[in-house]
Amino acid sequence: MMEIDIGKLPKFDLMYYESFIQNLANAGYKFKPVSKIKDINKKHNIVYIRHDIDLHILGIDKIAEIENFNGVSSTFYVLLTQHYNILQPENQHILRKIIKLGHEIGLHYDLETYPIRSIESKERLNWESEFLEKIIGARVRTISMHQPHREKADPFLTINEYVNPHDPRYQKDLLYVSDSCRAWRDETLLTCFGPNPPRRLLLSTHPELWLDGTIEDRIAYLDKIVVKNGTQQYLNFFDKIVREIWLTHPATKLHDKREKLRK
């Protein structure tokens, strides 16, 4: 275990992340996935860890492995409207691996892509949830809105079919802390180690931000890690698959042979 100062916020690094959740456990916190947020437990302080997958799927299973090793079950929220493709075999394999590691996957819905009318919007939510279930081979029990900082009203904040972690019914004694753009808004997370720790913590992180702690500058990290991982599958598709087809397809050979004879 890497010893870190509990008086400081964790650096964006996998080893620091692991040490931080271990420090939370040492401080008396128990860990539960978001779907359990409605079950108020007065015996223990609880941490509900959620991971919003906003940028890419490649590499996010590293945090799932760390949490599994430390006996932590968390929730990964996946978008169907982002540029990454959950049907891509490698991505599908990672998502199913996360399930096997004891975590749950929820739907990260983006209202910017939803119909305006409430009935049609609810139908879209159910359709996305059912589609995601088919891909991951597991039930989708929890949902969360993408980009809440845009202050768009959330029509699914209180919904009985799914657990929304921001449902007003579950907010009693709950501290919500999230990383954003590889930064912490404030230091309220550190109150978990103070004299009056919050009984319940909803900790939201983006796994894509924690994969390489050797790069401290966030823009350099964006360029070297996020952009690379976010485009790797697309580049591989064109550079390997499409290129190979263009080089070996019978039509190209016949075309070139015919053009050669004409000359």
User: Where are the domains positioned within the chain?
Assistant: 14-214, 217-263
- Stated pTM of the model: 0.91
Average pLDDT of the chain to the nearest whole number:
92
pLDDT digits (tens, 9 = 90+) for 97-136: 999 999 999 999 999 898 888 899 999 999 999 999 999 9
| Band of pLDDT at residue 151, cut at 50, 70 and 90 | low
| Rounded (10°) CA dihedral 189, 192, 195, 197 | 110
CATH superfamily, domain 14-214, is Glycoside hydrolase/deacetylase (3.20.20.370)
Closest CA to 58 of 236, 181, 241, 207: 207
Q: Which of 16-25, 61-70, 128-137, 147-156 has the lowest mean pLDDT?
A: 147-156
What one-letter code names the amino acid at 19?
S
pLDDT digits (tens, 9 = 90+) for 195-237: 999 999 999 999 999 999 999 999 999 999 999 999 999 999 8
Is residue 36 within 8 A of residue 42, CB to CB? The reply is: no
